[in-house]
Amino acid sequence: MVGILPLFVVLLIIVSFAMVVAVPVILATPGEWEKSQGIVWSGAGLWSALVILTGVFNAVPA
Partner 1 sequence: MFNWNIVAQLLSLALVTLSGPAVIFLLYFKRGNL
Residues contributing to the site for partner 1 (CB under 8 A): 13, 17, 20-21, 24-25, 28-30, 32
CA distances from 10 to 15, 26, 35, 37 (A): 9, 24, 28, 24
| 32 versus 47: smaller Cβ distance to partner 1 | 32
Please report how close the Cβ of residue 6 comes to partner 1 at its closest, in angstroms: 11
| 30 versus 60: smaller Cβ distance to partner 1 | 30
Please report how close the Cβ of residue 8 comes to partner 1 at its closest, in angstroms: 16
Give 6's contacts (C-beta < 8 A, 6+ positions apart): none
